[in-house]
Amino acid sequence: MSTSTMPADAAASKSAPPSGRSRDNGVIELVRFLSNPLTYLDALREDGRDVVPFKLGNLPAHLVTKPEYLKLAMFNEDWPPISRGRLMGLSKWYTEGLFLSYGPEHHRQRDDLWKPLFNDPLITDIAVERTRKKADSWVEGRPIELYKELRSHCWAIDWQALTGTDLDAAPDILEALGLGVEALAWLVLPFGPARWNWPLPQSKKTREAKRKLDSVIALMIAERRSRIGADGSGPVPGEDFLTQLVRLADADGSITSDEQVRATFKMWFGADQLHALFTWTLWLLSQNPEVETRWHAELDSVLGDRPVTVDDMRSLPYTIKILHESMRVYPPVWGFFRMMTEDYRLGDTVIPKGHLMGMSPWATHRDPRYWPDPERFDPERWSEGAERPPELSYFPFSAGPYECHGRGLAMKEAVLILATLGQRWAYRPAGPEPKPSATWATEPKKGALMKPVPRV
């Protein structure tokens, strides 16, 4: 990827032609953005330019909307000019780890710490077993706040895979995890890292949650290290993920620190946004009975009453189409920003050094230039032979070397959990229509109250 020495003021004028309204008043734009980031992104998309300039406080930013440019940016390995940008605010919660690294160190942690866990069948087996129990515990017609219920459920699956214990028995740990993940949303905003130390009740509770969780994880690392010392250092089939991480950190030649192990543990929960995917998928199915009927027929034909397995995935193509389309309409990750460390050229536009580059699945997935009738839920968009928009018109997991490294595992879990929920119940609204809100995930602003009902 080439860079440019074009002066910043010339570059800015290049990216901000007379067409489209001015967004140069950073204070006003920041207020607009913070009041509703998704509505703000909708307006940027409607601007129509391939790279739309705006300003958040004193930070000049540029939303990239053209798929060709998104591909250039996301597959770029030339670091600089792109850095992690606002993600570095997460160091208040994580201190170290994959989300805060780039280049060779990012790839080392990805390959050495994360990838060895992704093909372990432990978590998918836990997911099916716990989801069957969860669905059986629901009472017909009794409303459930689906987003928080499914968040606790998905995190309990993660916790059991990581530690071999039951998070349901540790509500204080669940609360600490919730405070941390909720903090991720404001730590990446202007003033977010400063807010961490402010004498606000929320900031104080989050700092206490970090101390508590870090202490618990440190004790678990020490316990596993002591046990491994007695048992030997070879891999043990079926052992929990934290034990595997400690083995990897202690292997000969490893440069992995305990802080990186602890960060990896905590990042597992920050990376898991399946609960958002399931919430919006079940909502969309409730509003599209013909899709739901066809989906139930697929589940009945392939699975009957038996538990779903990973081997069933290729026999559940409609389930996969539903998930793809749900992630298009309501992408769990709504957007991310990168900081330019040098001037950066995309076509005729140069994003100057020190500016932010924004990439938004929410904006691009709903762009009528690439997706006809974009707000319509239509799993048939993903059928073989269907017309496809340009590459990188769809990137729910990002793309390139920094895409979500757990993409394959996430899709396995998504199919298994959604299929299990669909085998047991249909789901119907029990409250107002949920409104999407941009936090760490795309979540329903006031929850999504739904009730399980017998399948027709």
Where residue 400 falls among pLDDT bands split at 50, 70, 90? confident
- How confident is the model over 104-120, as pLDDT tens digits? 888 898 888 888 888 88
> How far is the C-alpha of 417 from the C-alpha of 454, rounded, in Å?
18
Where residue 227 falls among pLDDT bands split at 50, 70, 90? confident
pLDDT over 70, % of the chain: 93
Q: Is the pLDDT of residue 365 over 70?
A: yes
Q: Is the pLDDT of residue 27 over 60?
A: yes
pLDDT, residue 9, reads 38
Examine residue 317 and say whether the peptide bond preceding it is cis (omega within 30 degrees of 0): no
DSSP 340-403: ESS-EEETTEEEPTT-EEEE-HHHHHT-TTTSSSTTS--GGGGSTT-----TTS--BTB-GGGS
Containing H/E element for 429?
strand 426-429
pLDDT, residue 13, reads 37
- Report the C-alpha dihedral over residues 318, 451, 148, 310, rounded to 10 degrees: -30
Q: Any residues with CB less than 8 A from the CB of 337 and at least 6 apart, and which?
A: 61, 85, 86, 188, 356, 357, 358, 359
pLDDT, residue 5, reads 32
Both tokens assigned to 248: 């990897």
Where residue 39 falls among pLDDT bands split at 50, 70, 90? very high
Mean pLDDT of 29-50: 95
Distances in Å between the Cα of 179 and the Cα atoms of 101, 171, 200, 210 are 23, 12, 14, 9
Distances in Å between the Cα of 275 and the Cα atoms of 148, 255, 376 are 8, 34, 22
Nearest to 449 by CA among 238, 216, 245, 286: 286
pLDDT, residue 230, reads 60
Average pLDDT, the chain: 90
Mean pLDDT of 88-96: 90
pLDDT, residue 236, reads 67
- Residue 59 DSSP code: E
> How far is the C-alpha of 366 from the C-alpha of 331, rounded, in Å?
10
